[in-house]
């Protein structure tokens, strides 16, 4: 039986990835495609449902993105969100205009009333808060549609043609601000599209392993293993599929946290693969000697990593496949066709020319980050790797402010390890999304053992966030901070003062550099 899939058509909305994630969280596979996809491609994709995303345009603008109206003749249910709702309304004979009064424009949290006789709202409360973001107004609803949602300001917040399976909402059900929003998406999937709910990481693992074996055959695969979540899960999946045909090159640049290199190596001891760990600490530190500017550090580390990987690859000789840990947000954000390019990713769209290989393989290319983590658990990777917090590519090099020395790095490693130990011991690791220590370039006078000290100030950083685009500083209990401070000052030589960063993002960034 072929896998059921939902097609998410992207009209430039800021929540397009979130819509796709919500669908997959409901155990239904989906893909995000640009609105320019042809009708033939849609038929080939054979979706059980189509979702139109929001977008920044007005549907009546001459250059606004549109779809082939024939999409509504395919017999496939459609859910239009915000711009997608207005696009569907206009395409099917309705009328959308700019709102003439502030009462017809809605932004932010809004009390909304629902017709629970509609399949989209089946089993849900009759009212709740929804997240609005629209300045246009549906002056005329298409024939065959009923009004199934309203607010005090707008009578047509949600519309439905139950017979054809067409639904439109002017709010964003995919965001956390909308109460029962995910339940509405689930109703569309199960009540309207008749999804079977077969998308699981266990099934994906088995399917992906079989596909990798078929593709690789008897060939050789080379992977640069950083120890991060994406490359580690890619390595585990490939190891499960092809074993000794895989070579993982782990470049240990000496900029990792305490014991991290050993933990990465130990995690892969269960698989029969070629694991090459390159001790390049001295080499990297020589290149970084006297360098204080963070972007200069990043450039040196990136270039040197390539050089080391290139040298190791030459020792291996020709390989058939170069593997990368590209994940789905990388692909979406890099853009295609008319889609907006949010940011370019180094591992999307360009193949390195310093390794002799025939083809590239990206086994995680269609997975979101949370799915990658779950796949890692399915593959048996230890939790310390699977749930690893975001860690910058240059590692501790940008958490040591100013010039780098091995002594400074070792000092930061010890302090950071104590910080992480105490946060975990207090159970605060479940409440904080990212936390780490920064060795500042500030020295101050202190008193220890009746003697004067002149040592470094250590900054502690901890944030809570849902998307890492914005973040708030974490309210760590004072007694936990007190224990962390006492231990670090007493146990780590070279630090005599601890400060806690209470700046949110924005105006600050999460990392210091």
Nearest 5 degrees, angle CA 102-CA 108-CA 112?
A: 85
From the list 106, 174, 304, 312, the catalytic residue is 174
Pseudo-torsion of CA 424, 428, 430, 431, nearest 10°? -160
CB under 8 Å, gap of 24 or more: what pairs does 210-215 form?
Answer: 212/237, 212/238, 212/241, 212/242, 212/361, 212/363, 213/241, 213/242, 215/321, 215/361
- What is the tens place of the pLDDT at every residue in 135-167? 667 878 899 999 999 888 788 889 999 999 999
Tell me if 160 sits within 8 A of 148, measured CB to CB: yes
Tell me which fold the domain 201-386 belongs to.
Rossmann fold (3.40.50)
CA distance 275 to 280: 15
Domain 399-500 -> CATH class? alpha beta
427 pLDDT higher than 60: yes
- What is the tens place of the pLDDT at every residue in 435-466? 999 999 998 888 776 677 888 999 999 999 87
From the list 172, 304, 371, 378, the catalytic residue is 172
pTM confidence score: 0.76
Catalytic annotation on 82? Answer: yes
Peptide bond between residue 426 and the one before it cis (omega within 30 degrees of 0): no
Predicted pLDDT of residue 262: 93
Domain coordinates in residue numbering, the chain: 5-192, 201-386, 399-500
CATH architecture, range 5-192: 3-Layer(aba) Sandwich (3.40)
CA distance 164 to 354: 54
Q: Which of these, 308, 307, 235, lies nearest to 275 by C-alpha position?
A: 235
SS (H, E, C) 128-155: EEEEEEECEEEEECCCCCEEEEECCCCC
From the list 30, 82, 118, 193, the catalytic residue is 82
28 pLDDT higher than 50: yes
> Predicted confidence band at 343 (pLDDT cuts at 50, 70, 90)?
very low
Catalytic annotation on 66? Answer: no
Catalytic annotation on 422? Answer: no
User: Which residue is listed with tokens 């007493």?
Assistant: 490
10, containing H or E segment? strand 5-10
Output 496 or 340, whichever has higher pLDDT. Answer: 496
Do the two domains 201-386 and 399-500 of this chain adopt the same fold? no
């Amino acid at each position: 039986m072929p896998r059921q899939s939902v097609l998410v058509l992207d009209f430039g909305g800021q929540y397009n990835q979130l819509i796709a994630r919500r669908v997959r969280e409901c155990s239904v596979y989906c893909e995000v495609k640009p609105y320019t996809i042809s009708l033939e491609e849609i038929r080939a994709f054979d979706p059980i449902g189509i979702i139109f995303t929001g977008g920044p345009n007005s549907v009546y603008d001459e250059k606004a993105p549109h779809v082939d109206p024939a999409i509504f003749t395919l017999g496939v249910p459609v859910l239009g969100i915000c711009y997608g709702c207005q696009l569907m309304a206009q395409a099917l004979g309705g009328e959308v205009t700019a709102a003439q009064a502030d009462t017809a424009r809605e932004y932010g949290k809004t009390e909304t009333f629902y017709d629970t006789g509609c399949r989209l709202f089946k089993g849900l409360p009759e009212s709740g808060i929804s997240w609005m973001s629209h300045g246009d107004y549906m002056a005329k609803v298409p024939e065959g549609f009923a009004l199934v949602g309203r607010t005090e300001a707008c009578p047509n917040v949600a519309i439905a043609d139950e017979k054809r399976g067409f639904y439109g909402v002017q709010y964003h059900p995919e965001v956390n601000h909308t109460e029962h929003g995910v339940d509405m998406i689930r109703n569309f999937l199960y009540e309207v599209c008749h999804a079977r709910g077969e998308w699981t990481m266990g099934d994906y693992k088995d399917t992906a392993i079989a596909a990798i074996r078929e593709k690789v055959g008897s060939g050789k695969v080379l992977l640069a293993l950083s120890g991060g979540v994406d490359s580690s899960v890619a390595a585990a999946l490939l190891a499960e599929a092809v074993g000794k045909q895989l070579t993982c090159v782990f470049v240990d640049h000496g900029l990792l946290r305490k014991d991290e290199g050993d933990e990465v190596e130990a995690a892969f001891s269960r698989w029969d693969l070629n694991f090459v760990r390159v001790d390049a600490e001295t080499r990297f530190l020589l290149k970084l000697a006297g360098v204080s500017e963070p972007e200069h550090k990043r450039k040196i580390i990136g270039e040197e990593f390539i050089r080391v990987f290139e040298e190791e690859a030459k020792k291996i000789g020709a390989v058939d496949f170069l593997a990368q840990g590209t994940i789905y947000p990388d692909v979406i954000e890099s853009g295609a066709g008319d889609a907006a390019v949010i940011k370019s990713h180094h591992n999307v769209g360009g193949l390195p020319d310093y390794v002799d290989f025939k083809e590239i393989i990206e086994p995680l290319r269609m997975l979101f980050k949370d799915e990658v983590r779950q796949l890692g658990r399915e593959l048996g990777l230890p939790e310390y790797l699977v749930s690893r917090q975001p860690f910058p590519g240059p590692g501790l090099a940008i958490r040591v402010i100013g010039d780098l020395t091995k002594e400074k790095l070792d000092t930061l490693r010890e302090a950071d390890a104590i910080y992480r130990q105490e946060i975990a011991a207090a159970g605060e690791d479940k409440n904080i999304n990212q936390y780490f220590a920064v060795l500042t370039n500030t020295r101050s006078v202190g008193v220890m053992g009746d003697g004067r000290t002149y040592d470094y100030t250590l900054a502690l950083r901890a944030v809570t966030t849902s998307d890492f685009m914005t973040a708030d500083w974490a309210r760590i209990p004072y007694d936990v901070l007190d224990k962390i401070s006492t231990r670090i000052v007493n146990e780590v030589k070279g630090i005599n003062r601890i400060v806690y960063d209470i700046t949110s993002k924005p105006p600050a960034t999460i990392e210091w550099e």
